């Protein structure tokens, strides 16, 4: 396939691009700065729709671009989070929709933040959205792809869980306190963290490109979501460190504000069976072996 990819320098993109190349695909990066001569790049600053001619000759588009959600959510940060996802996706979909011969498939990132804080409820792709900031962003983000869908392009919206990678994402941020022996559960520890390894995220993108029957929202989470306390214990075992220093909910909120409430303390028990039913075999279906392998790497 000839593939164009936005967000190629991020956590997912930097792992996915070489995997696509190894599989024999040709990948062109969609970048915001001026494309460098002699490099496989196209320039689009995302402030407006790209020229439809930019995508001529491509079989697929992978859309990953978006402001990192980590850190305290000031109003300016929240605006960047929303606009980078919603406006960028809308501009991209508008351009693809008017092409005479558009790419056959658009595979875009979304997030299980779509569901909000749902306690013990088992969340499937047809479950309703949440009501917090991130849930609202995810709804608008996914809806922004509507012009491409209306034009007959197969659109797959991968709702990513808590992505585990040694050098980036949620796990990398947790490692330091745990390695020092001062890690522990966050809040009550009863909230579900629906996790997935970075390797399975890239595998899911590869699968979505190839599987013609797959479309719409797809949860990308390992088969067995873990409560935060279970996740904490598994990480401690993988590092051979104690996990006896809990982070109270009030301290998490004091440190990170709204982001802690929506991301760290919210419970999302997500069902990833749609992806598995489509024929995807998880590379890391169980938490303890997944953490052990990641931390050996």
What confidence tens digit (pLDDT) does each residue in 89-143 have? 999 999 999 999 999 999 999 999 999 999 999 999 999 999 999 999 999 999 9
The whole-angstrom separation of Cα 274 and Cα 260 is 29
pLDDT confidence of 224, banded at 50, 70, 90?
A: very high
For domain 2-296, the CATH architecture is 3-Layer(aba) Sandwich (3.40)
| Global pTM value | 0.94
Residue 285 has pLDDT above 60, yes or no: yes
- Report which of 134, 154, 157, 121 is spatially closest to residue 270, judged by C-alpha positions: 121
Are 6 and 23 in contact by the 8 Å Cβ rule? The answer is no
Are 16 and 205 in contact by the 8 Å Cβ rule? The answer is yes
Q: For a pLDDT cut of 70, what percent of the chain falls above it? A: 97
pLDDT higher for 54 or 139? 139
Could you say which DSSP state residue 261 is in?
I
Give residue-wise pLDDT tens across range 55-102: 999 999 999 999 999 888 999 999 999 999 999 999 999 999 999 999
pLDDT at position 38 is 52
Question: Helix or strand or coil: residue 197?
Answer: strand
- Report which of 120, 135, 162 is spatially closest to residue 269, judged by C-alpha positions: 120
pLDDT higher for 37 or 266? 266
Beta bridge partners of 219: 159
């Amino acid at each position: 396939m000839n593939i164009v990819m936005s967000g190629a320098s991020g956590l997912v993109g930097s792992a996915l691009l070489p995997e696509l190349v190894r599989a024999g695909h040709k990948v062109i990066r969609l970048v915001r700065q001026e494309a460098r001569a002699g490099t496989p790049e196209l320039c689009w600053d995302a402030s407006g729709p790209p020229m439809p001619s930019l995508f001529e000759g491509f079989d697929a588009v992978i859309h990953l671009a978006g402001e990192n959600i980590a850190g305290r959510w000031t109003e300016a940060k929240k605006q960047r989070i929303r606009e980078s996802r919603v406006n960028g996706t809308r501009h991209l979909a508008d351009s693809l929709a008017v092409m005479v011969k558009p790419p056959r498939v658009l595979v875009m990132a979304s997030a299980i933040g779509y569901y909000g804080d749902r306690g013990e409820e088992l969340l499937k792709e047809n479950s309703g959205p949440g009501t917090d900031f991130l849930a609202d962003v995810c709804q608008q983000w996914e809806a922004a792809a509507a012009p491409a869908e209306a034009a007959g392009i197969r659109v797959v919206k991968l709702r990513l869980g808590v992505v585990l990678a040694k050098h980036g994402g949620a796990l990398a941020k947790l490692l330091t306190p745990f390695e020092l022996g001062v890690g522990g559960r966050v809040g009550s520890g009863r909230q579900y963290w629906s996790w997935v390894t970075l390797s399975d995220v890239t595998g899911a993108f590869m699968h979505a490109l190839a599987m013609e029957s797959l479309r719409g929202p797809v949860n990308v989470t390992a088969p067995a979501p873990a409560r935060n306390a279970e996740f904490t214990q598994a990480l401690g075992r993988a590092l051979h460190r104690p996990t006896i220093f809990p982070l109270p909910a009030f301290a998490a909120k004091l440190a990170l504000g709204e982001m802690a409430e929506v991301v760290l303390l919210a419970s999302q028990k997500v069902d990833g069976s749609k992806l598995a039913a489509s024929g995807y075999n998880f590379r890391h279906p169980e938490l303890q072996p997944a953490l052990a392998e990641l931390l050996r790497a």
